[in-house]
Amino acid sequence: MIDLRSDTVTKPTKAMREAMAKAEVGDDVYKEDPTVRTLEETAAGILGKEAALFVTSGTQGNQVAILTHTRPGDEVIVESQAHVYYYEVGAMAALAGVQTRTIEGKRGQMPVDAITRAIREDNIHFPPTTLICLENTHNRAGGAIVPLSYMTDVHGIASRAGIRVHLDGARLFHAVVVTGIKAADFAATVDSVQICLSKGLGAPIGSLLVGDREYIERAKKWRKALGGGMRQAGVIAAPGLIALTKMVDRLGEDHVKAKRLADGLANISGCSIDPRDVETNIVIVDIKELAMSAETFCQRLKDKGVLVSAFSEDTVRFVTHFDVQDGDIDQALKAVQDVALGM
């Protein structure tokens, strides 16, 4: 079975499994797990921040970040298709007690003038705007890279208004590889950033929340409150360390495969996609001309040995990752061609 549903389906490498078995461990709640501490220090150094916090998932990292930045009744500005708003079970409202001010973006970018207008003035009737959330790369925008120049502009708006900025950087290193811009340069435009180890980087579990030291110390309490205080966590931090230090450069291979997949899909009648929109490892194709639902399309592809995800009623998402081989792309395209022809 060729699995193109997500880069979360990657299996840990042999080196990761060996590192898990040999990891030096301790009680992380007591700050005594040396492998976790090494992972956190490494991540902070790569992102150019003072400290980092190992968390179980990207969602936990994002929500701990929001809880630490805000108070109940605050308002958070977020792009209307952002992961923190679209895919995190309403956690901002349920856990942090904040309300969202959504702005429709283009390729993951909210218009800067719209952000400026959305910031609440000091008025007894209004909630205070205290946080802006960005996402880079942007999942629902097809893995689009949010330019550093844009992030710098948003940082300027936030700084002038006294507002914090959080970056959901679950796939930030895809942007790093494509642009050649250091992760620390992206991170310099925000107050906190979450990076995911278990997507394209291939670790079996975990994300990191990175920021200044005082912020991370406060975030630790929220992680504990959410049940994220871990004990001998070095066994899962060890593969994360390999992911962070050994798996970044190879992301470019996934981008090449995604581009080849997009080029092939564009040549299949009934599939609508502009390969120029594919910048990283996510490929979203419109299939409305095939006169079948995305769910039906996915099921028919599954019957032919290819797993993909329905993204909307008439769009489907393919994601390349390091478990996908060149031959898998050819087989996937053949299966799509067959489904399109009703075979």
pLDDT in tens, 76-87: 999 999 999 999
Which candidate, 158, 167, 166, 238, places its Cα nearest to that of 197? Answer: 238
Model confidence band, residue 15 (pLDDT cutoffs 50, 70, 90): very high
> pLDDT tens for residues 322-331?
999 999 999 9
Q: What is the model's pLDDT at position 343?
A: 66
Give the tens place of pLDDT for each residue, 222-265: 999 999 999 999 999 999 999 999 999 999 999 999 999 999 99
**Structure tokens that stand for 342 in this block:** 């009703």
Place of tokens 């997500």: 6
- pLDDT of residue 283 exceeding 90: yes
Mean pLDDT over 145-153 rounds to: 98
Q: Tens digit of pLDDT for each residue in 96-132?
A: 999 999 999 999 999 999 999 999 999 999 999 999 9
Percentage of the chain with pLDDT > 70?
A: 100
pLDDT for residue 163 is more than 80:
yes
Count of helices and strands (H, E) across the chain: 14, 12
User: Which residues have CB under 8 Å from 21's CB, separation 6+?
Assistant: none
* Residue 1, burial from CB neighbour count under 10 angstroms (0-12, 13-18, 19+): exposed
pLDDT tens for 29-52 read 999 999 999 999 999 999 999 999
Q: What percent of the chain has pLDDT over 90?
A: 99
Domains of the chain: 7-246 (3.40.640.10), 250-340 (3.90.1150.10)
How many of the other CB atoms lie within 10 Å of CB of 227? Answer: 9
CA-nearest of 49, 56, 63, 61 to 28 is 56
Residue 342's pLDDT band, with cuts at 50, 70 and 90, is confident
- Tell me the H-state helices in 134-269: 148-161, 172-179, 183-187, 213-225, 234-246, 251-266
Q: pTM of this prediction? A: 0.97
Q: Identify the pLDDT of residue 255.
A: 98
